[in-house]
Structure 1
């Protein structure tokens, strides 16, 4: 397949993907952007684990929720590869073949249907990210959001240890990801890498640490190297449900966990995703 034919088919695939997310979707096509692969992964959320459709490009990772008959939810999620970090994880009771995807604004766990699919996803993402960073046009991210502990993992506040009830509800500290009560998370601060303007809920311990560090900076002292709460958070952040929109008939809704589309190389055939029933 020659380069002109490859790029033409690549453009058609990307435009079909754009339309599948409906009018609320965001433009995905760029002249130098290539759709490398696609497939389904289980994404662990705050309240439940859901199947998501993921699409790997040479510069971004895109995902959205799929339901019956290829119909799609709104609000496509786009992660620039320079702002992405992967961390391999061992199997848990809730998820097998899992790994952690870290981004500045959100971090979450995903799970593949097999170890081979997991390695394919992780290897392809890392390869695309490495090639993009080699160009020197962008710099890798250095600050990432913690993952949230799921609601079901805590029946008590992880700060004051009071039990949760219908009136004493669960909340999440945006800085450490712990499940806490309202009394222990009444303070709100700006966390720049998550949201540069909006004040977000933090627990009393994180607020105390922030205050102490700020005081140390003002006085010229170096803050202590205490262990970070990020090191002991082991679950994922959630997201709100999204409304359904009509799908594009040009996208195959039965693609397996990893379907390689490929990148253009002279004198090689386009690698199409395998067909599944």
Structure 2
């Protein structure tokens, strides 16, 4: 009883500290049954290259944000329910070592840890608590690939539009297609479409994806007309041009923040398992033990 009370108090204090670090811009994270599993700094591959981001793993959500003042002040809080997360292990790339892909319906992105051991620990913790959370909520174990957003290709990957091959300049800016993730120019990304898993508003898509979606819709409409259902009112030809809700493809305003790599902290939970029983508390504990305490 005393141990349970001590854990509850410590957990509440930890979550309160995370809430406070995001200030007024962050959402409330305290919730019955929620506990903080671990926290750490990972590199996230953004439009302008790898950027340090602070990550907090709870037993039901994954939270990350920009680092304004390490250990004290964060910004741009993002909350991802664990049931929406899918991970894909990747080999080391030119931009980042120890990387893997985190897929979600609204945004998919690449992250990397400082060491292979830390990468294994992060992927293991996320999958372990995702599985437990999905099981407790009675949700399907896996989602189909179509349910996840395509990760964006970083700006540095191409100096030309990946559709028309025009060179990017100050006037001809880079944009990203939300459907395929390609880097495209303004002329090649005038189209807008609703991608339900990303947004209920029209978002930027390149002309290739727009054409694919239009052709697919026409095929569906043709089949429905063959069955006697006329969709003239909602036909593609009669659909007005979608308004432009975005002026650029800025994923987020990148900061010139500094992140001095510190060990990830894994907190003791009430779960009996090899992952949650280990906690980084000293600099020399940068590499967690594999498969045990």
Matched, 1:176 2:188: no
Instruction: Indicate how the Cα distance of structure 1 residues 276 and 66 shifts in structure 2: closer, same or farther if over 3 A, else same.
Output: farther
Matched, 1:240 2:253: yes
2:64 equivalent in structure 1: 63
Q: Distance in 2 between matches of 1:28 and 1:243?
A: 27
Q: Distance in 2 between matches of 1:255 and 1:29?
A: 27
Conserved 8 A contact 1:106-1:144: yes
Task: Kindly provide the CA deviation profile for residues 184-235 of structure 1, in whole angstroms up to 9, marking residues without a partner as x.
Answer: 1111111111111x211111100010011111112229xxxxxxxxxxxxxx
2:203 to 174, 186, 200: 200
Q: Give the drift of 1:66.
A: 2.0
Q: Give the drift of 1:243.
A: 11
Largest Rg, 1 or 2: 2
Q: Give the drift of 1:69.
A: 4.8
Q: Distance in 1 between matches of 2:277 and 2:8?
A: 11
Instruction: Calculate the TM-score normalised by the size of structure 2.
Output: 0.79
Task: Kindly provide the CA deviation profile for residues 163-202 of structure 1, in whole angstroms up to 9, marking residues without a partner as x.
Answer: 1122121111111010111111111111111111x21111
1:112 equivalent in structure 2: 113
Matched, 1:276 2:283: yes
1:18 equivalent in structure 2: 19
Matched, 1:256 2:274: no
Instruction: Calculate the TM-score normalised by the size of structure 1.
Output: 0.83
- RMSD across aligned positions (CA): 2.6
1:36 partner SS: strand
Number of matched residues? 252
Which consecutive unaligned segments of at least 5 residues does structure 1 have? Answer: 222-236, 245-252
Which consecutive unaligned segments of at least 5 residues does structure 2 have? Answer: 225-249, 285-293
1:215 to 200, 215, 218: 218
